[in-house]
Structure 1
């Protein structure tokens, strides 16, 4: 068993070795995939397993071809079998790029793309016979994606919002007195004509908070008491 856990890509892996690598890859992909499926992400249970399994099979194929590596004096070329799994790793980058979407300042799918790329590396570890490395990597990924996600509720993060206020004859409104008690800053952007023909001043608001919804409501309520708000929209980032 010790040899099975530590040997790196033997030239003649047994069917037991190959079956164990595939089974462990499916377990690892399923563990991470369940967490992504529960979160309602695009790449969920089955996709994560398939990505890890494809990498594992590519590495197993490279392992089986190791005995053909090299060249003799009769040949001018040699085959680098490790280019095969490296090509799979590169190809997963295109899959990850496909799940990342950006709409204005909102970007989604970054964590999902990173998970797909990471699970490809895990599949390569298992496929190459690095069982301990693959198992530890899977455990670390699960901790990062699940328990550590709770840190988001404890840490304050920066939030942004777009605010448009109707301009009066006195010019661009001053929001410092209203926003200072809420620890929110306002950066003036430009003047714009609103659909009703009136002129509005556009601001970008920034503040730190643990509860984005409650803080946004408080900011909007405070501004609405002294100014005529035409538009208020929160800029968010979802992974």
Structure 2
């Protein structure tokens, strides 16, 4: 077995070791990046490679600085070279924070931010010579992001929406007959005036469904047949 697969962060890595670490990092970043690019996410092919490569190079630099040649004992008490890759890992948090967007109750970019952080750790593994760990982590990440994504579409997850119905403040509309056939529950919120000056009753709807859009349309159509709807909006979507 090649030495770069078994040696953990040697004090004097060869150019072959360094080249292998960089190449494997590019392959790992490209594999995960292609999946993100295909999904149309902001951090795609090139971004994922660059994030992983930056972490890898930081760890290689730290590895080279660990060499004991020409250094006294006091040198190691004054300089902690591992702070360098740690700073890179912290800096990626700012990139991840910029990828997360919140619009009202809808949040996007959470998975993208987590992917960037994860690929930084993978790059640190390759850069530090833990090649086997990096390869295993890359395969696991690809499985989580690609094949296991189908599990999200298969599972019936809880969906939430805010519903506002026009009506008087003296009587709260009964939605049970309309929503029970759709396996949807309604929690009363409040009675207040809508933007057009009319009285409206607010409900929080909850139901289980695989397809949030199709189920929401079915619920909206059923409620609209029995009541005058002022507002209907989905809540808490994360990707």
Q: One fold, TM greater than 0.5?
A: yes
Offset at 1:68?
A: 4.6
Instruction: Tell me how large the CA RMSD over aligned residues is.
Output: 1.8
> What residue is the counterpart of 2:14 in the other structure?
14
Secondary structure of the equivalent of 1:31? Answer: helix
Secondary structure of the equivalent of 1:174? Answer: coil
> What residue is the counterpart of 1:83 in the other structure?
83
Secondary structure of the equivalent of 1:67? Answer: coil
Q: 5+ residue gaps in structure 1?
A: none
- Work out whether residues 162 and 204 of structure 2, in 8 Å CA contact, stay in contact via their aligned partners in 1: yes
> Does residue 1:128 correspond to 2:128, yes or no?
yes
Q: How many angstroms apart in 2 are the aligned matches of 1:199 and 1:149?
A: 43
> What residue is the counterpart of 2:24 in the other structure?
24
Alignment length (residue pairs): 238
- Work out whether residues 166 and 229 of structure 1, in 8 Å CA contact, stay in contact via their aligned partners in 2: yes
Question: Larger deviation: 187-196 or 106-115?
Answer: 187-196
> What residue is the counterpart of 1:177 in the other structure?
177
- Work out whether residues 169 and 191 of structure 2, in 8 Å CA contact, stay in contact via their aligned partners in 1: no
Offset at 1:77?
A: 4.3
Q: How many angstroms apart in 2 are the aligned matches of 1:217 and 1:67?
A: 64
Q: How many angstroms apart in 1 are the aligned matches of 2:109 and 2:77?
A: 42
* 1:51-66 matched pairs, under 5 angstroms: 51-66=51-66
> What residue is the counterpart of 1:72 in the other structure?
73
Instruction: Extract structure 1 runs of 4+ deviating beyond 6 A.
Output: none
> What residue is the counterpart of 1:233 in the other structure?
233
Q: TM-score by structure 2 length?
A: 0.94
Q: How many angstroms apart in 1 are the aligned matches of 2:76 and 2:138?
A: 41
Q: 5+ residue gaps in structure 2?
A: none
Q: How many angstroms apart in 2 are the aligned matches of 1:57 and 1:195?
A: 56
